[in-house]
Amino acid sequence: MSEPSVFDLVVIGGGSGGLAAAQRAAEYGARVAVIESGRLGGTCVNVGCVPKKIMWNAAAAAHAVADAAGYGFDVTANGHDWAGLKARRDQYVARLNEIYARNLANRDIESIAGFGVLEDARHVRVGERLLQADRILIAVGGEPVVPPLPGAEAGITSDGFFALEALPRRVAVAGSGYIAVELAGMLRALGADVELFARYDSVLRSFDTLLQAAVVDALRADGVTLHPFAVPAGLERSDDGLMMNTQAAGQFGPYDSVIWAVGRRPLTDGLGLESAGVARDEGGFIPTDAFQETNVPGIFAVGDVTGRAALTPVAIAAGRRLADRLWGGMEGRHLDYDNIASVVFTHPPVGTCGLTEAGAREQYGDAVEVFTSEFVPMVNSFSEHRTAARMKLVTTGAERRVVGVHLFGPGADEMLQGFAVAMRMGATKQDFDDTVAIHPTSAEELVTMR
């Protein structure tokens, strides 16, 4: 048997977190190998944030066309070329795949196509090849779940959504998380009849209640039919499409497509974790400490596979900080998982950072004070699409330190980043109040709120 190839770091998974760690480590002089069985870039680039944002942009363009009359334009949309957009989107993603490959090559990182399996705590096998490293990083990400229900295989997941060659005219989306509401909004804006099946009476249930209510109202205003307390029980084929059976609400349909958006699971099966002694929790996720290290010294994990804050920038930040600490001489450097800003690309978008009002009251009790605002943004004042923007600041203590910012409205995705920086620096309500507003904007509401 041939001798193993020796590296300082072997990364299993060429997604956002793995690539970020690999490239940062290589910049410090480490010899690195990245193993990926699919396309470089992982979920985000191939079947996640990047193609999702392109489809969101298309849906936003559809809304803009509909609103143009209010600004004096005589505009008629003569349909939408889904197939043409998909072809351009796929080309864009393919270019990103190539860029990632070039970036690895430019840093002398060896890119290995194949499925990496741990043989022990220091060796990874890819096919016939054996790799050795003192440090191994697991960054394999996750995949969407298809529920174990009768006929469920007739539906598709978010992965299947990006493979659609044509717009399905009648769509059922099962789920109430961010993927479900994003896909429902995009499909509706581009012309589909959409029904959303939620297990409970709302959507985005981990978000602040103000945002939950805002998204429900916006979906309904855009023509999405919501079925609350409708728990799927299976799918059946009829002569005219797919029928959705529910546990208590009856049967619905027919649909041209049913999309399962009921969660994601880590891709930890078959990695040889047992051979290396790496622990998994009951959900299959790999627990790590504050420094991204597993229960096995020298084996680390970042990204969705850890079950913490499944967001691309989180995986990137964790991977880079890991390399900074191990090879960059930055002792103690690690990712702080508190106050991570996130956006849901509904129409308009949701932005949130910090504690919900309920979470703050649970943690700080009567010391919590809340400020809210609801208004029709100027951009909507000249159109029939008059969705109200809603905002909330959650503060605590005598100094009214801001511990939660929750936004719904045009531009929420872009304006949140700066406020997240302010929160991280410990900003108070008085700091917000003392900041001169930019007028006329929606963002000024956050510094004029009473």
Catalytic-role residue among 80, 123, 227, 439: 439
Helix H or strand E encompassing 363: helix 357-364
CB atoms within 10 A of CB 323: 25
In a domain, 337, yes or no: no
CATH of residue 435's domain is 3.30.390.30
In a domain, 57, yes or no: yes
In a domain, 315, yes or no: yes
Same domain, 351 and 378: yes
Same domain, 11 and 137: yes
CATH of residue 201's domain is 3.50.50.60
Residues of the chain with pLDDT under 70: 1
Nearest to 327 by CA among 19, 16, 65, 22: 22
Active site residue 334: no
φ and ψ at residue 139, rounded to 5 degrees: -145, 55
- Per the structure block, which two tokens stand in for 431? 């700091």
Same domain, 353 and 311: no
In a domain, 334, yes or no: no
Which pLDDT value is given to residue 199?
A: 95
Which pLDDT value is given to residue 191?
A: 97
Same domain, 399 and 428: yes
Same domain, 30 and 176: no
Tokens 């400020």: give the residue: 371
Asked which of 221, 238, 262 is the last residue of a domain, the reply is 262
Q: How far apart are CA 435 and CA 33, in angstroms?
A: 48
How many independent structural domains does the chain possess?
A: 3
What is the three-class DSSP state of 136? strand
Same domain, 115 and 179: no
Asked which of 216, 239, 262 is the last residue of a domain, the reply is 262
Same domain, 208 and 159: yes
Q: How far apart are CA 382 and CA 66, in angstroms?
A: 11
Same domain, 139 and 279: yes
Which pLDDT value is given to residue 383?
A: 86
Q: Which residues contact 115 (CB under 8 A, 6 or more apart)?
A: 35, 37, 126, 127, 270
CA distances 372 to 151, 198, 408, 436, 445, Å, are 45, 27, 11, 19, 9
In a domain, 177, yes or no: yes
Condensed to tens digits (0 to 9), the pLDDT of residues 21-48 reads 999 999 999 999 999 999 999 999 999 9
Same domain, 41 and 170: no
Asked which of 242, 262, 282 is the last residue of a domain, the reply is 262
Which pLDDT value is given to residue 386?
A: 84
Which pLDDT value is given to residue 384?
A: 80
Which pLDDT value is given to residue 171?
A: 98
Same domain, 166 and 140: no
Which pLDDT value is given to residue 1?
A: 53
This prediction's pTM: 0.95
In a domain, 333, yes or no: no
Same domain, 293 and 356: no
Q: How far apart are CA 308 and CA 329, in angstroms?
A: 26
Question: Maximum Cα–Cα distance for the chain, whole Å?
Answer: 75
CA atoms within 13 A on the CB side of 118: 30
Same domain, 313 and 195: no
φ and ψ at residue 391, rounded to 5 degrees: -140, 150
Tokens 């920086």: give the residue: 421
In a domain, 393, yes or no: yes
Q: Which domain holds residue 443?
A: 342-448
CB atoms within 10 A of CB 299: 24
Which pLDDT value is given to residue 402?
A: 98
In a domain, 335, yes or no: no
Percent helix, strand and coil across the chain, each rounded to 5? 35, 25, 40
